[in-house]
Chain A
Amino acid sequence: MYRYDEFDHQFVRERTEQFRDQVRRRLSGELNEDEFRPLRLMNGVYLQLHAYMLRVAIPYGTLSSRQMRRLADLAERYDKGYGHFTTRQNIQFNWPKLDDVPDMLAALAEVEMHAIQTSGNCIRNVTADHWAGVAADEIEDPRPWAELIRQWSTLHPEFSYLPRKFKIAVTGAEADRAAVAFHDIGLRLKRNAAGETGFEVLVGGGMGRTPMLAKTINAFVPKDRILAYLEAVMRVYNLSGRRDNKYKARIKILLHEEGDAAFRRRVEAEFQRIENPTHLVPDKELERILAYFASPAYEALPERDPQLAHNLEANAAFRRWHEINVAAHKQPGYAIVNISLKPVGGIPGDATAAEMRAVADLADAFSLGEIRVSHAQNLVLPHVRKRDLVALWHGLVKAGLATANVGLVTDIIACPGLDYCTLATARSIPIAQALSRRFAEAERQSAIGGLKIKISGCINACGHHHAGHIGILGLDKAGKEYYQVTLGGSEGEHPSIGQIIGPGFSETEVVDAIERIVNTYLGLRESGESFLEAYRRVGAAPFKETVYAAH
């Protein structure tokens, strides 16, 4: 893991004190709300429906057990005993008081964390594949580059007052677990014919009211030029992105209005003007960062663990959890363990202080003290010896964290919705809870197989409904909540945007409608066909028929 040195420590301390002074000036009236707003947003502070909200960055989703314990402390001291892991590898605390925030930031700074640029019209927390560095299908670990981009984009002198927010995701694997096509910039590590690694640069993806998939504007940028290339993209956007309408201000609209080819020419011209593009990352600095992400000292272990085989045989609940929540690790004898934060009837992504501490303890005991946070609002223990899996599972069961549903129908993504959010038009959480209760039965979930349901409480799409195999969008019609359903969205290597199937549903109808959709799939699927594959084969018609026939 990356570790702060004296430079980073001093930086976050100074930034905290700077914000403390800005809060003081706001409370004294020296700054008005219009002036204070962008300043607080760039420090992760929102004003929500009931209170302020602090959004803390978990850069590229990597967290130490010590940091997790500090998050638990903050949840207890300044929130109501829990935190909410978001779809962008952040954690949100929903109930702090404004004058507590500087102290929260100071407590975070002590454990090398911050809330810088988790909001505002700037480059947001850089996200990455949550299995980075351990996935069996990885070309190269994207995290050193994500860290480099984090540093480069932090309080960037030129790119901190952009037309709109700007999200960057990086992946180094074949399978895309970082949803790069749904980001303002997606970076994908690739190997060229000469065997060198570089980045495919995708630009202009996003959700919101105008969902778009990012386009590849450069198939291969050598790694040592990537910051210069990003600078070129950012400069074109900062100068030409629309500022007259906040709904048309994202880079996807600029790309769409200018056309891919014209946009690409402008970026290339800007890139040519950058002197010494390879000098943006001094070798020494890159080496320093790379060293932090070297593989930990794994034990030489056999790929198969006989004890594990025995335990799998003997314990059906463990076997089920293993089958669903455990993934292949690049290192023989090790596994990646996904911890679901989606218990039946629970709030997706919420974790109590006790749960956070339990995960921290289990990470210390079984995962070299390291934890990951996924954009699907789950946690990951990335370095678990196969022979420890059963002990870890017992620990998770004890903590109530052994829900075996990662990637299944009840592993629902949902934004906080109208229960918390000032932008929301409908509640998301109760829909997620009702669906997870409806599909709670384990056998049924296994029979349905991989299915991603994603729920947003408004058109801003923080719940990623556009990328859901089944997407649910909560809207307001004459003061009543109703829910629009989309089908066929997907992130990953072959991304697509979900299509609306027809008129929306009331809160009570929507769960039945989703169940009919799932049953329709079960009725028409061919052998081994996932929901998404079946939908792509047959289209929306059979689903519409069954859903609306009942009306």
Chain B
Amino acid sequence: MPLIRNGAYVEDGWTRIEGEAPLPDGGDVLIDWSRLKEDASLRVFDGRLGVHLPNTVDANELAPFVNRLALVAFEFPSFTDGRAFSQARVLRHQLGFPGEIRATGNPKADQGAYLIRCGIDTFEIRGMQPLETWRAAIGSVTRVYQRTYAEGAGTTRS
């Protein structure tokens, strides 16, 4: 599916492995949350690991895996389901996760600026969309009241 980062389409180098399907020998693989918790063979896996976290799971449960993961994908199943905003926020700022955080499902351009400030890097969208819409939506309000929110700290402008 098309992937947007910094207002441009980028290559998605990650392979999604659903359920218990066998892992490749290496490379970048994105697995389910249940597998990350339970599959011992992951300890010796040679490539980079990413996980897809359902939006019903407390992001704090990722704490033991923060150093092992290079990608965490959150779900935005509908325009109005905002749980993953908080999950991303917790992962990025409370757990200090430095890797890629991805919005999946069908994130919308009009949410882009909010998502970025919660720590999201990449947007996996359904079908190609005009990048101009994304750039315009993300840049349309340059002033924010929670000025340092994206850095994790303060809330009001100063």
Contacts and interface: CB of A to CB of B under 8 A. Distances in A.
Interface in A24-68: 25, 30, 34-35, 38-39
B111 interface: yes
Interface string B69-109: 00000000001111101110110001000000000000010
B140 A155 contact: no
B157 A7 contact: yes
Contacts of A280: 154-156
Most chain A CB atoms below 10 A, which of B58, B110, B144, B152: B110
A34 B20 CA distance: 36
A297 to B, nearest CB: 28
B45 interface: no
B146 A157 contact: yes
Contacts of A154: 145
Given A7-B157, A152-B146, A243 B118 contact: no
B41 interface: no
A293 B86 CA distance: 33
A148 interface: yes
B117 interface: yes
Interface in B107-147: 108, 110-111, 113-115, 117-118, 133, 136-137, 140-146
Say which size band chain B's interface belongs to: 35 or more
Contact of A155 (B87, B141, B156): B141
Given A11-B143, A158-B89, A161-B111, A273 B155 contact: no
Contact of A11 (B110, B145, B158): B145
Contact of B145 (A18, A22, A152, A159): A152
A281 B136 contact: no
A17 B85 contact: no
Interface stretch (A231-239, A381-389, A528-536): A231-239
Most chain B CB atoms below 10 A, which of A159, A161, A231: A161
B153 interface: yes
A14 B143 contact: yes
Given A152-B155, A157-B117, A238 B83 contact: yes
A239 B82 CA distance: 8
Given A17-B140, A121-B80, A161 B85 contact: yes
B149 interface: yes
Contacts of B150: 157
A162 interface: yes
Contacts of A162: 82
B145 A281 contact: no
A156 B157 CA distance: 12
A7 B81 contact: no
Contacts of B145: 11, 151-152, 154-155
A523 interface: no
A456 interface: no
Given A151-B157, A155-B144, A282-B156, A22 B83 contact: no
B149 to A, nearest CB: 6
Interface in A142-175: 148, 151-152, 154-162
Given A157-B114, A160-B82, A235-B86, A282 B140 contact: no
A21 to B, nearest CB: 7
Contacts of B89: 157-158, 235
Contacts of A30: 133
Nearest to A277: B155
A239 B142 contact: no
A15 interface: yes
A484 B143 CA distance: 48
A477 to B, nearest CB: 32
Contact of B86 (A10, A18, A228, A239): A239
A284 interface: yes
A275 B151 CA distance: 12
A15 B143 CA distance: 9
A14 B155 contact: no
B44 to A, nearest CB: 33
Contacts of B140: 14, 17-18, 21
Contact of B152 (A11, A14, A159, A275): A275
Contacts of B117: 157
Given A151-B157, A238-B83, 8 more contacts: A35-B110, A121-B80, A156-B146, A157-B85, A239-B86, A243-B81, A280-B154, A285-B158
3 closest A-B pairs by beta carbon, nearest first, are A161-B82, A157-B117, A280-B155
Interface of B: 58, 79-83, 85-87, 89-90, 94, 108, 110-111, 113-115, 117-118, 133, 136-137, 140-146, 149-150, 152-158
